[in-house]
Amino acid sequence: MGIEEIISRIAVFSPDEDAEDYEISEFFDEIRENVHKLGGLSEEEQRRLIKALFRYIRKRDSEEDENFSLIHFIEQIDKSLFDIYYIELFEFNRNHGAITSVLLLNRFVNTLDGKEWENGVALLKSIADNPEYPILVKEGAKSFYEFQMGK
């Protein structure tokens, strides 16, 4: 399976509300295995894959519980420098915020320091204060913001 088919499968994956967590996990575990079989991705392929995964998060209910197979997968794609992931993660949270993306943001903020940490914490605060975001997303961001400030 090539990168085009992988991205296409992510694009059409749409579990219904009755889907079990394990079914979603199995899907992302299979996708991760297929990416691994490719033996490495170019920067452009990484960018496209990360964007596809954020599009998946975007089309789901923003208050849907996080899926750790998806979370671990997306965090590993650009793990050497996080150049692509960082930009997409912050951009997504500025515009769309979801329980999963806020958790991803907090996990990433845990790896930062200095000005970058401040920017991440400020983004958590802005999500918590954004009246357009669902209450559970705002509450999650507030909790992570308070955690970060207490460190």
pLDDT of 96-122, one tens digit each? 989 999 999 999 999 999 999 999 999
For the residues 59-69, what does the mean pLDDT come to?
91
Backbone angles phi, psi at 97, to 5 degrees: 35, 130
Residue 65 reports pLDDT greater than 80: yes
Structural domain harbouring 14: 3-149
Q: What is the reported pLDDT for 81?
A: 65
Q: Taking Cα atoms as reference points, which of 78, 80, 76, 85 lies closest to residue 109?
A: 85
Q: Which two tokens stand for residue 113?
A: 């320091």
Q: What is the reported pLDDT for 18?
A: 87
Q: Which two tokens stand for residue 72?
A: 């671990």
For the residues 7-20, what does the mean pLDDT come to?
93
Q: Which two tokens stand for residue 59?
A: 């089309």
For the residues 136-151, what does the mean pLDDT come to?
96
Q: Which residues contact 54 (CB under 8 A, 6 or more apart)?
A: 74, 88, 89, 92, 101
Alpha carbons 139 and 129: distance in angstroms, whole number: 9
pTM for this entry: 0.92
Alpha carbons 125 and 98: distance in angstroms, whole number: 14
Averaged pLDDT score across all residues of the chain:
94
Please give the tally of structural domains in the chain: 1
**Amino acid in position 43:** E
The rounded percent of the chain whose pLDDT value lies above 90 is 85
